[in-house]
Structure 1
C-alpha cells in the first residue's frame, strides 16, 4: 500500500512538472506554440516555426535564411517545455491578443508574433515590436531569439553563403 501511494505521488509530481502553466495560472497542456518573425530594414531572417507538445517542429523560411520553404523535425518534449517556460511570463490570458508595451522604440527592427493554439483551436496571441527597448522587452526579445537554438533549427536561419545581400 505504501509503495502504491509513493508511486502515485511520484506520477502526480511528474505530471505537474510536464504541464506548462500560463501567466494566468491556466494550463497550456496540448498547446502548439508558433513564432513568426517579420522583416526588418535590412537582411534579418524572416521565418515562422511551430512546436507541438510531442516535439514536432515545423519551420518555414521565407527570406534571408539558409532554408527557404518548409522543413520539419522532431525534438524532445523537454525542448517544447523549455520554450513554453521561457515564454510563460509574457503569455496573455487564454483566448486574448496582447501587444507588448513600448516605452522607447528603435525603428526598423523585426516584429515577433507568438501564438499558443490549444487542442480546441482557441488561440492566444502576443505581438511584440523588436525595437521596444525597456528591460522587460529586452528579456522577451532574448527569450524569442533563443527559441531557434532551443529547438535546434538555428542552422536553418543562417544567411546562405550565396545570398547576394551579404557583402
Structure 2
C-alpha cells in the first residue's frame, strides 16, 4: 500500500471502503454506483449530516457511521423561491423527455452531473432535476448499521414536485427506506 493512502486513512479494495476522520460533509455518490462489490462502508468520525439515497439500495453487509452529527429526520428543506435558471429549465425538460434514456448515455459525465441525472424522486421514481424538494428520511434498517443511538443516520431523499411532497406527507409510512 502506498504512503499516500496511509496518510489519508483511506483504503479502497474490492469489498470494503474505510473513510474515517476525513471531515467529509457528504458521501460522494457520483462514483458509488461503480463499486459493484462494495459490502462494507465505514464512515466514522466525519461531519456527515445525512447519507445519500442510494445507500439503502446498495445491500451493504455493514455500514458504520459513528461520531457524525446527523440532522434530525423531521427537517424539511424546500427549494428556494428564486427564478428558474436556464440550467434548471434545461434539466427539467431533459429529464422529462421521451428521449432521456438515449440521451443520457451520450452526454458527457460532467453535464450529466450538472443536470442532476442521479436524483430520483422518492414517490414517483422520476428524475428530479436541479431544484428538487429535499427531505430527510430516517434510516430504519438496523440489521447492518453501527451508529450512535443518540444521533441515528438519516437518508437525504428528493421529491420532484408539490404533488409528490403532498403524497409523501400524507402517506410517509409507504416510503420508508428499509
Under TM normalisation by the shorter chain, which class is it?
under 0.3
When normalised by structure 2's length, the TM-score is 0.23
Between Structure 1 and Structure 2, which shows a larger proportion of strand residues? 1
